[in-house]
Structure 1
Amino acid sequence: MPPSAKTERDQEFKHGQGFPNINVSRRQQAPPKLKKPVPHYRHLVRWNKNQVPESIEEQQMNQDLVILRRALDLFLNSHMAEAEAILARGPVPVGTSPAPDASYSSTAAQKAQEAFASQDKKELVQKAQEDTTNDRDDLSSLASSAPSSTTKPANGKKSASSSSSSSGDGKKSKDSEPTAMYYELGKAIIQGLRALVTFDPYEIEAGMKAFEKAIKVSNKQRKGSMIGLGSVKAVGSFVVGTIGAGSFRGMNRVQKHAELVYAEATILRSLLSVLYHLDAWMVIEECINLRHAFTIIQGLKSFMDSVESELRAGKNIDHHQIDEHIVSGVTLSYSLYNIVISFLPDVIVKMLQLIGFPSDRDWGMAMLAACGDWDPMSPPESPQEHAERLASSANDGVRRQFCDMVPIIFQVIVSSFIPMNHVDLNYAQMINDYNLELYPESPFFLFLKGRHLQVTSKLDEAITTYHSAKVEEPRWHQLSHIFVFEEMMCAMMQADHHTACEKSRQLLKESRWSKCAFRYLTAITGYERGVESEKKKIDSLMGKVENGMQKVAGMHLFFETFCARKSKRFIKEGHLLLPSYDFMLLWNTFDMMPPKVLAKALDNISAEVRRLQALLPAKMLERESQPLAAKDQTIEAASGGYLSGLWSNKGAIERDSKVNNYENFYDDYCLAFFLQGLVAYHLAFFPEDPFSREMCELAMESFQTVFRYAPLIKDDTYTYYFSHYYKAKIWIQQGRLDEAQARFKYLLGLSNTNMLGLPALVGGKGRNSLELFVLLKVHSGLIEIDTARATANGTESVRSGSIRSGKY
């Protein structure tokens, strides 16, 4: 017979000295120890801007890059229409008009605005709109002319491309193929972003067409021998391997850029293709494309590594003509391969490594930091150092700001969903503040600022920041929905149901991201607001939730599956238990709540716990000293059979456990106790606050209740999974690493639902819709244990040296 709850609690806390007096920070951790040195490609920039290139083609590319840099500055600073108008005009041929100032720098977005102060901006925007009207039948022309997301083609026929092209003789022709690869890439990126903002299949297809055009244009400027490696759709791309550094030594500067643009456009088109085709088999085909693109990126990196070796040896590298655009491009692409692959399960990572893909998250992050000359261990910059950073030509690379965005995104967004080691939110704030100085009106960096405030539990300041972000351009209005969504989540955290209901209604009315989720959110926020006159509308919305589901890569999104299951429950029973707190589990918002908000949430949840306890049958209360699920007390017993083997008096327990007119009583009972334990856990271990033994005991007792009644759960089996996860997290805090590791491995085994032994699963129902979410957390938990052990053994230390070291 397993131990009673009281005995279990005593065992949990007999090693109470293992808990810290003050909780460690999860918001600022030491940098990792890197396995290999980080390249300093920014020191390889040897492009003589003052020397006029002999090639007209290179002169044209230089001019295009300067103008593209201006357009990017305008776009990042919330002047989308002006940026799109610049791209819609098409490239200005060399020799036909004065070339833009080659000394232009992106050190301040204001410079871009001043450069165009003498031009009639309204005329530029009007011309872009006219181009859209004339060419709306051509998807690629739509991408270059910044169409409205609601514009539809008049018919299914394709018109001739109207994109202007530049040639050596300075003439333009609508019938000739364009040769300005950077213009096409810029148009494609903007169209691809619009596709993600609107999630409109038409816009996604337009984005794919735009990237295909960029691939075609850049392919024409690649070196002939490189093109011979094969089509991006060739299966042979998997076995071609890395392109050697020597292949790039024989290229001129334009050809190197063409290789980079070709690879980038291939990668981005593949990502949109997965969204558009909604087919699992398409993922396999696009993996081939990604492998082919990686061979190019890897080859460029090898080339730059060899050039860096020459520089270290004291050789002159000027003739390689490496510019800041190549540096930022290779850094961004190669780092992202390392970072993204590192989040996949170990089995998949090992398979990808066999075919040459890299996977080193910490190294990839450090490589991005080196591109911007960032170092989390360095002291604050002096005014002179800050001015030098702003004036550095290395900051002018057209991909430079994206290299800064990636670390911020992973620190303040990804780490909120998937626990990560070596998080440093102050470091992320330093990078974001620098970019906000350049782009004070940027919706992108303002969002990241608000998100930083949110994950550091400054909810009111986050809401103020979200309010300050404005997206005036009508065609980019849906970009503002990300601010609305975060405001809604902040309101839900604060139990402000009125504001949450207003924001969810706005999203449902205006946004196309997920009708399933927005219908559900509108329904539950209205339900919790408790206005009787809205009941029919809530019932109607709940009935439409499942119809709004969509697929990505052939699979339903986990949060939409969750919403659909909950809406069915509501339709069946007419009520839901704490639906806002339940939904917030998906967004991991409990990590963001300050103690005052957590305390309010605990009061709300505990009130429901007491209500449900009053409904618990008396005979079930008598069994409290004998927990139902023996296998949940000792992991070793988990390999035992199904439900029939768990209880000797199964029939009596099933009869005694029934609650009249409440079919899913134990789903709600376990959910209430899990939420109570979750909030108590966060109160006990709130970062940099004193450890609360009382809250920790409440969390453990709540999780034990979930384990005790888990066999009676019909649908919401995720509460069982998450209770085990957070119990293991408490053990990590206590230093009981072996026990925590055993519990994590137990959860990994439960990915096969037949092993869980819960009645809902034995009956073929109740599959855990959040299983993938739990497994991602478990994998991160295992890494956390390895790091804790390495730290205890003295083998985990801060990386030696500074990222800024080694200037040549």
Structure 2
Amino acid sequence: MDVTEETARAEDEDHFEDAYDRIPTACRMDLQSAIQETQCALNLVLNNKFSEALDLLKPWWRDSMYHALGYSSILVMQAAMTFEHKDIQIAMATIKEALHTCQRFRKKNSVVGSLSSLISRQSNLQEEEMHAELCYAECLLQKATLTFVQDENMISFIKGGIKIRSSHQIYKDCHNVLNVTHDLTSQSDSHRQFEGGVKLGIGSFNLMLSLLPQRILRLLEFIGFSGNREFGLSQLREGTSGSTLRSILCTLTLLFYHTYITLVLGSGEGNLAEAEALLEPYRHKYPKGAIIQFYSARLAALRGHFEKACAGYQECVSSQQEWKQIHHLCYWELMWTHTYQQDWLQAYRFADLLCRESRWSKAIYVYQKAAILSMMSAEDVDKTGEDVVELFRQVEALKQRLAGKSIPTEKFAVRKSRRYKTSTPVPLVLPALEMMYVWSGFTIVAKRVDCSEALLVTIEAAEEQLRRDSQPSEFHVDDGCLVQMLKGLCLKHAGRLMQAELCFTHVLSSENRIRYDHYLVPFTLYELALLYRQQGDAAKALAFMEKAKSNYKDYSMESRLHFRIHAALNSLRSSPAASP
């Protein structure tokens, strides 16, 4: 790492990355060559050349830790996206072999036990040992992911948890090594690559752990886990700079956080400006890359540019045909983007594609398709040739189990669809809009005044229909409360706060009469708390948030609400006057 390394450091970042668009021929796979060749494979993936990336890594994956990590990462990603048993088995066998490859480069004792050795002895072997710890930790995380989806029992869940804990501990040890050795080796390219890997691991762990509600985090802290959101974000931000192998991975982690996690498991406060800035350089570097196109479309949707988003997702679908699973991600988003605009025929089209092509969650896909059809006129439903009642009746049999437990959103769909099991089904009220709320869609629609107003018209029409119901069913109160909560959301986002408060308080006053949809009360308390925060009444917001968190249990999607409450409480305590 002498003359060659100094030359590489003198080159700018664009040249560093572009150099790996070709496939180098390696005659000897030293650490630097392995990192460069894995960078080349990553570039191939980002250019939709998935098979070429595997072909590049395959010859060395049993002899090089980075080739092993890269090769297994692609197969694990594919298995997680397809959910096919065969793909999961192949990926699991590969990751086990990759762990063995990484293990050969690790010190015989742990990093903690060899800190003094690592600091005192600057050699190629020491660099390999440091990188082997990183690669081993990343492979452990991959194996944990596959362990969760491979089997459906609690033993597998525990095994996966142990692997995550081991990975977390290795990253903490590597972070300690980084702190101690920073001044000694800061000029080394190998050290900068190591530093990038540590920032990715430490940043991701801290960020994800910081999302967990306090009752879960207290338990995890007992066994060595801890999470600091700001520290995690800062580590990932630092990791995005420079030209290391993991720079783009830090960027993709932050993009996922800002465009999905903050919305589904938070209170919708993702930093879209930062996400745009992070994505911009890669738009130029990988203009046809499906992953980059997907995030560009997602950001357009989050800003309320639905037409632009739809065009972007369609471009993403057209950009490659090798990994159909990326098409499915786009279909999911297209289904929702058309739902936001109440373009039900188009939303149905993509829900139907998911039902036919994707294995991820048949129960959700079929329920969603039936829910969308429920929003359409009888004439339009007839054109599709679908039987809505029969679709709802299929949902329960399609439910999956993960680690011995049902997936919360599937359980919700199953419970709602049981209304169609009787000989005289009682139709659901606004089921597509209810699921839109579950996936935080109202926060997105709020960016478009025209779409929000159109939704309010649809909700008020359902409200009027319920009011005119001459023979109320046993679900009448529940349906009325659902309509009032959804109406309150539209009014809140429109700035009509007093009217929104009346809708929310109507739900709360009906608590004792709700028979089935008990989730409506704690979720409404949460929404009312956000409304009070928007009005600047932090004390009232905090009181309602705490009530939603502490006074209710065993209702649908309870854990999802606790994630959202945790995020909102953190935001409330740091900036009480901030709007949701």
TM-score by length of 2: 0.89
Paired amino acid for 2:396: E
Q: d(CA) in 1 for partners of 2:76 and 2:99?
A: 14
Q: Determine if contact 1:81/1:473 at 8 Å carries over to the other structure.
A: no
| Counterpart for residue 509 of structure 1 | 356
Distance 1:450 1:421, change over 3 A: closer
1:626-641 pair list within 5 angstroms: none
Q: Determine if contact 1:244/1:299 at 8 Å carries over to the other structure.
A: no
Task: Give 5+ residue unaligned stretches, structure 1.
Answer: 1-44, 92-164, 166-177, 230-241, 374-393, 616-658, 685-694, 754-767, 792-808
Tell me the CA shift for residue 421 of structure 1: 8.5
Q: d(CA) in 2 for partners of 1:780 and 1:609?
A: 32
Q: d(CA) in 1 for partners of 2:459 and 2:363?
A: 26
Q: d(CA) in 2 for partners of 1:401 and 1:455?
A: 22
Tell me the CA shift for residue 303 of structure 1: 1.4
Tell me the CA shift for residue 467 of structure 1: 1.3
Q: d(CA) in 2 for partners of 1:606 and 1:47?
A: 72
Q: d(CA) in 2 for partners of 1:699 and 1:208?
A: 51
| Counterpart for residue 330 of structure 1 | 198
1:671-682 pair list within 5 angstroms: 671-682=482-493
Paired amino acid for 1:682: H
Greater displacement, 592-601 / 701-710 = 701-710
1:194-205 pair list within 5 angstroms: 194-205=78-89
Distance 1:523 1:354, change over 3 A: closer
The DSSP-based 3-state class of the residue aligned with 2:479 is helix
Question: Once the two structures are superposed, what CA deviation does each residue of 1:503-524 show, in whole Å capped at 9, x if it has no partner?
Answer: 1111111111110011111222
Asked if 1:551 corresponds to 2:401, the answer is yes
| Counterpart for residue 583 of structure 1 | 435
Paired amino acid for 2:440: N
The DSSP-based 3-state class of the residue aligned with 1:278 is coil
| Counterpart for residue 663 of structure 1 | 474
Percent sequence identity is 23
Tell me the CA shift for residue 334 of structure 1: 1.2
Tell me the CA shift for residue 535 of structure 1: 7.1
Q: d(CA) in 1 for partners of 2:143 and 2:483?
A: 45
Tell me the CA shift for residue 584 of structure 1: 0.3
Tell me the CA shift for residue 770 of structure 1: 1.9
Tell me the CA shift for residue 47 of structure 1: 9.4
| Counterpart for residue 325 of structure 2 | 478
Q: d(CA) in 2 for partners of 1:541 and 1:752?
A: 30
**Alignment size in residue pairs:** 550
Q: Determine if contact 1:46/1:321 at 8 Å carries over to the other structure.
A: no
Asked if 1:298 corresponds to 2:99, the answer is no
1:664-743 pair list within 5 angstroms: 664-684=475-495, 695-743=496-544
Question: Once the two structures are superposed, what CA deviation does each residue of 1:53-77 show, in whole Å capped at 9, x if it has no partner?
Answer: xxx9985333332222111101111
The DSSP-based 3-state class of the residue aligned with 1:512 is coil
Asked if 1:528 corresponds to 2:411, the answer is no
Q: d(CA) in 1 for partners of 2:504 and 2:108?
A: 64
Q: d(CA) in 1 for partners of 2:402 and 2:65?
A: 30
Asked if 1:770 corresponds to 2:571, the answer is no
Tell me the CA shift for residue 595 of structure 1: 1.0
| Counterpart for residue 262 of structure 1 | 136
Q: d(CA) in 2 for partners of 1:588 and 1:219?
A: 43
Distance 1:532 1:283, change over 3 A: closer
Match of 2:230 among 343, 354, 362: 362
| Counterpart for residue 602 of structure 1 | 456
| Counterpart for residue 15 of structure 2 | none
Paired amino acid for 2:518: T
| Counterpart for residue 102 of structure 1 | none
Q: d(CA) in 2 for partners of 1:273 and 1:408?
A: 25
Question: Once the two structures are superposed, what CA deviation does each residue of 1:740-774 show, in whole Å capped at 9, x if it has no partner?
Answer: 21211111223335xxxxxxxxxxxxxx2122222
Distance 1:182 1:505, change over 3 A: same
Distance 1:679 1:421, change over 3 A: closer
Paired amino acid for 1:578: L
Between Structure 1 and Structure 2, the one with more helix by share is 2
Which protein has the larger Cα radius of gyration, Structure 1 or Structure 2? 1
Distance 1:566 1:677, change over 3 A: same
Distance 1:532 1:490, change over 3 A: closer
Asked if 1:185 corresponds to 2:69, the answer is yes
| Counterpart for residue 612 of structure 1 | 466
Distance 1:789 1:492, change over 3 A: closer
Paired amino acid for 1:703: F
Tell me the CA shift for residue 490 of structure 1: 0.8
Give me the CA root mean square deviation.
2.6
Asked if 1:61 corresponds to 2:31, the answer is yes
Q: d(CA) in 2 for partners of 1:486 and 1:338?
A: 28
Q: d(CA) in 1 for partners of 2:556 and 2:521?
A: 12
Q: d(CA) in 1 for partners of 2:56 and 2:88?
A: 22
Task: Give 5+ residue unaligned stretches, structure 2.
Answer: 9-25
| Counterpart for residue 537 of structure 1 | 387
TM-score by length of 1: 0.65
